[in-house]
Amino acid sequence: MRTIRARFEPALPLAALALLGLGVLTVASTEASPRAALDAAGGAGLRQISLGGLGLASMVVAALLDYRLLRRFAQPVYLGTVALLVAVLVVGLATHGSRRWLELGPVSFQPSEVAKLGLVTALAALLADRLPRGAVLALSTALAGLVTALVLVEPDTGTSLVLAMTWLTLTVAAGARWRTIGMLLALGCGVLPLLFAIAVPAYQRERLAVFLDPARDPLGSGFNLRQAEIAIGSGGLRGHGVFDAWGGTESALAHVAARASDFVFAQLAEDLGLAGTVAVVALFGLIAWRGYTVARTASDEFGRLLAAGLTSVLVGQAALHVAVNLRLFPATGITLPFVSAGGTSLIVACTAIGLIESVALRRAPSRGWGGFRD
C-alpha cells in the first residue's frame, strides 16, 4: 500500500477534477435558469455532471489497467481507430456541413476524439524499441498521416492539428534528428498551399480570412470571435459571476451556439474573469508538469512515450482552444478538455489522465516529490 501511495500522482486527478468542476459551473451558466440547467430532460448542467461521473469512472478503470497491455493490442487498436473514422465518413451523422458523429442506438460518439488515444498507442508501440530513422520514421508518418487525413476529411481541422502535434512530439521524444524533423516540416510547408486548395473547406477558409481581417463580416462569419473577444474583455478581474445570466443580465455569448464547447474559455472568462482563466491555465500547467514527469520516470520506453503523447494531446488541445478564444489563431472548432460540453471529449480526456496514472503507478520508486525524481 505504501508503494502505491509513493507512486501515485495526486496532482493529475485533482487537476482534472478541478477542471471538471469549473466545466460544470460554466456549462450550467449557459442555461436560462437553475431549473433549465438541472432539467432531467436535457439540462446542460445535469448532463455535464453525469458525463463527469462517467469520465471519472473511466479514469479509475484506465489507472487500474496495466498500460503495458496496450502495447500487445496496439495494432488492432489502430485498425479499429481507422475503421471508426472510415465508418463516420460513410454512415456518420451529418451536422453543420460535417460528419463527425456515429450513432449506436440512443448513444452517439465522436470517433475523432477516440483517434487521439488510438494514434498515441500505435506510435508509442512502434517507437518504443526503434529509433525514428528511415523506414521507421516513414511508417510513423504514414500512420499519423492516415488518421489525420481521415479526420480532416470530416472535416475537423482542430483535431487534425492536435494529431499532427502529437506525432511531432512523439517522434522528437523517441529520438528523431532535428534536421530530419526540419526537413519534414519544410516539406509540409511546401505542400501547404496545395492542401489548402484541395482539403480545406470553404468555411475554414472564411475563418482564416476573418482571423486575418477582424473587421470582416462582424455580424456573419466574424460574429463568434467578436463576441468571444467582448466576453473576455468584459469579465475583468473577477468576472460577472457564474450565474449572472440567471439574474437577467445577457451574456455577450448569448447568441453564440458553441459557447459551451468551442468558446467555453471565453464564457468562463466572462463568468470568472482573469482569476478564472489564470486558474485554468495553471491547472493545465500542472497537468503538463506532472504528466511529463511521469513520462521521464516511466519504467519502460513504451510507458514513457505513452505518457508523453497523452500529456501532449491534453495540453496541446487546451493551448489551441485558448489561442482561438484569444484570437491568436484561426477558429478551428475544438473543445477545452474537461471543461467544454461534449461527452466523447470529456471521457477521452479523463481516460488519458487514467492511463498516465497507470504509467505512474508502475514506476520504480526513487527520491523526489511524490517519491520520484523530478
Whole-number Å distance between alpha carbons of 206 and 360: 44
Query: How long, in residues, is the chain?
Result: 374
**Which range has highest mean pLDDT (196-210, 240-254, 295-309)?**
295-309
Stated pTM of the model: 0.89
Per residue in 28-71, pLDDT (tens digit) is 888 755 555 555 555 677 889 999 999 999 999 999 999 999 99
Residue 355 has pLDDT above 70, yes or no: yes
Whole-number Å distance between alpha carbons of 44 and 342: 10
Percentage of residues of the chain with pLDDT beyond 70: 85
Q: How distant is the alpha carbon of residue 176 from its chain centre? A: 25
Whole-number Å distance between alpha carbons of 333 and 86: 21
Angle between helices 343-361 and 301-325 (to 10 degrees): 140
Give the pLDDT confidence score for residue 371 in this predicted structure: 43
Write the CA distances from 200 to 147, 152, 153, 228, integer angstroms.
16, 8, 9, 24
Per residue in 240-253, pLDDT (tens digit) is 777 665 555 556 67
